[in-house]
Structure 1
Amino acid sequence: DEARPFSGGNPDAPAPAGRPRPVARPDAPPRHERKPWNGEVRPAPAPSPLRIDGSIRLSKRMTELGLCSRREADEYIEKGWVRVDGRVVSELGARVKPGQTIELDRRGQTAQERRVTILLNKPVGYVSGQAEDGYEPASVLLTPENRWAEDPNETRWLRTHLKGLAPAGRLDIDSVGLLVFTQDGRIARALIGDDSDVEKEYHVRVEGRLPPEGLALLNHGLSLDGQALRPAKVSWLNEDQLRFVLREGKKRQIRRMCELVGLKVVGLKRVRIGRVLLGPLPPGQWRYLAAGEKF
């Protein structure tokens, strides 16, 4: 019966007619030295993330070029709003080479133009993101009633402006000042992306005695969490208030920096992000980012 597996007999006997004898691999050990299978299944090797031709995902390349965020790129690709070298690409996971021309058609540009960015003067007692420890998120203040009456932007408030609106940065619950909310992935990436180089300016009221070398250390020379901090610009505004200009934003960074040089922060206000100023915006009120304003 040719369907029945071999179960014994002389292994050197001639193979039955019509059945070729298996050819042993030259590197295979003798049969008496072979180990029985232990049930282990070896996973297939992971595919290499590198491509010999240097290509990368289209969505990633769009983000690198500052066209949009990765999430927005996937949305635009699926809708057929992206062209590569003049050809529409609607396949998620498509790859491109660095030299190829990528364009977002007018529908995608219009969708981006409709995305809003809101500037809030956050008061004490609100958290920047999700509600925590019984404290409300600052986003609850983004109501038509709290819009600044002198907002120069004529955009009409719509409930859809709250959809997908997220804070681009943080302010501690005890800190006040400029907090940005945006629907635009390009702005979020510019402000909080790993490669962000946008300045943030703070006015910080302190208590304590600063040692002679303290101001120099605040400017450059301190470390947090085992990592050296990037150079900052720190100077006195008056006898009890410091001006900090940072290009990074570690958690409670300014408060922890001050502790390292013997100072205690008793008040902290963010007054500028990039080229956008808090200005006369009252606490607890908000306005739209004006069309001509750029971070």
Structure 2
Amino acid sequence: MQTRLNKYLAERGFCSRRQADALIASGKVKVNGAVATLGLKVDDRDDIVVLGQEIEKKRPQLIYLVFHKPVGIITSVDAFAKDSVRSFLRLQNHLFPVGRLDVASSGLLILTNDGALSEKITHPRYHHEKEYLVSVDKPVRREDLRVMAEGMMILGTLTKKAQVKKNADQRFQIILTEGRNRQIRRMCEQLGYEVKALKRTRVMNIELGDLPSGHTRPLTQKELRELKRTLE
């Protein structure tokens, strides 16, 4: 039975559906030697190559890891890209990052080959919590934290309400339920702050804890059960 190419790639653990769409749109996916197009349907009889890598037809054993991403590492699915998560960790399996974390930020990334789970965590319609620790260049005013919490106009759109708490003179934590590009940095810049450090410490029930920078650990069975239950 044929299925859409983006779903096929997600089921084979190469990337999420949305990441697959981006790869297809940029001409980096070939099916039977021809550059693929969005919406193309495939099955196991087709030979599929992404970024020069042949996609295995067998569905992989599912893997779930927490990675403490250092500053300077990019969340790319390209194993050959300089400083990508895949090249940094020398991943042998087709694991990919769930969502984005910009190159200047550090902290928690979930790595998996479960495309369906990745889609449920990252799709905008689900509004799952992500928590960050933010350090800025000057003392944080409580009135500015209230503005962040209530919502701000960023690139012409009002941000969703957030939970914000000051925990040091020049540091605060913020919990978002959306994932706009560079959202926290844009909010701080609009209020006159320069972000000096930004670390993601939690995604839903998964916490970074004391995992050292640059290291990974598997999700515990308890974490995985709770995560999947929340995503049902």
TM-score bracket for this pair, using the shorter chain length: 0.5 to 0.7
Q: Verify the 8 A CA contact 1:141 1:285 in the aligned structure 2.
A: no
1:129 is the counterpart of 2:91: no
SS at 2:100 equivalent: coil
Q: 1:178 to 1:211 in 2, by over 3 A?
A: closer
Shift of 1:223: 1.4
Identity, in percent, stands at 32
Paired amino acid for 2:122: I
Q: Which residue of 2 aligns with 1:22?
A: none
What is the CA deviation profile of residues 239-271 of structure 1, one whole-angstrom value per residue up to 9, with x for unaligned ones? Answer: 111101001111111011111111111001111
Q: Which structure's residues are more often strand, by fraction?
A: 2
Q: 1:210 to 1:241 in 2, by over 3 A?
A: closer
Tell me the distance in 2 between the aligned counterparts of 1:250 and 1:266: 19
What is the CA deviation profile of residues 78-129 of structure 1, one whole-angstrom value per residue up to 9, with x for unaligned ones? Answer: xxxxxxxxxxxxxx8xxxxxxxxxxxxxxxxxx57x2112211011111111
Unaligned runs of 5+ in 2: 13-40, 42-58, 228-232
Q: 1:211 to 1:237 in 2, by over 3 A?
A: closer
Task: Select the residue among 162, 175, 178 that pairs with 2:108.
Answer: 178
Q: Which residue of 2 aligns with 1:141?
A: 88
Pairs within 5 Å for 1:275-286? 275-286=205-216
1:287 is the counterpart of 2:217: yes
Shift of 1:140: 2.0
Q: Which residue of 1 aligns with 2:131?
A: 201
Paired amino acid for 2:187: M
Choose 1 or 2 for highest CA Rg.
1
What is the CA deviation profile of residues 255-288 of structure 1, one whole-angstrom value per residue up to 9, with x for unaligned ones? Answer: 1111111111100111111001101211111112
What is the CA deviation profile of residues 54-96 of structure 1, one whole-angstrom value per residue up to 9, with x for unaligned ones? Answer: xxxxx89xxxxxxxx9437988xxxxxxxxxxxxxxxx8xxxx
Q: 1:116 to 1:263 in 2, by over 3 A?
A: same
Q: 1:208 to 1:243 in 2, by over 3 A?
A: same
SS at 2:186 equivalent: helix
Q: 1:208 to 1:181 in 2, by over 3 A?
A: same
What is the CA deviation profile of residues 184-236 of structure 1, one whole-angstrom value per residue up to 9, with x for unaligned ones? Answer: 12220122113122111000001235456312111013011111111111110
Tell me the distance in 1 between the aligned counterparts of 2:212 and 2:187: 28
The TM-score with structure 2 as length reference comes to 0.67
Q: Verify the 8 A CA contact 1:210 1:261 in the aligned structure 2.
A: no
Paired amino acid for 2:8: R
Q: Which residue of 1 aligns with 2:160?
A: 230
Q: Which structure's residues are more often helix, by fraction?
A: 2
Unaligned runs of 5+ in 1: 1-58, 61-68, 76-91, 93-110, 145-158
1:244 is the counterpart of 2:181: no
Q: Verify the 8 A CA contact 1:200 1:270 in the aligned structure 2.
A: yes
Task: Select the residue among 71, 78, 83 that pairs with 2:8.
Answer: 71
Q: 1:287 to 1:183 in 2, by over 3 A?
A: same
Tell me the distance in 2 between the aligned counterparts of 1:244 and 1:74: 33
Q: Which residue of 1 aligns with 2:51?
A: none
Paired amino acid for 1:204: V
Tell me the distance in 2 between the aligned counterparts of 1:74 and 1:187: 10
Paired amino acid for 1:120: F
Tell me the distance in 1 between the aligned counterparts of 2:151 and 2:213: 34
Q: Which residue of 2 aligns with 1:30?
A: none
Q: 1:135 to 1:254 in 2, by over 3 A?
A: farther
**RMSD over equivalenced CA pairs, Å:** 2.9
The TM-score with structure 1 as length reference comes to 0.54
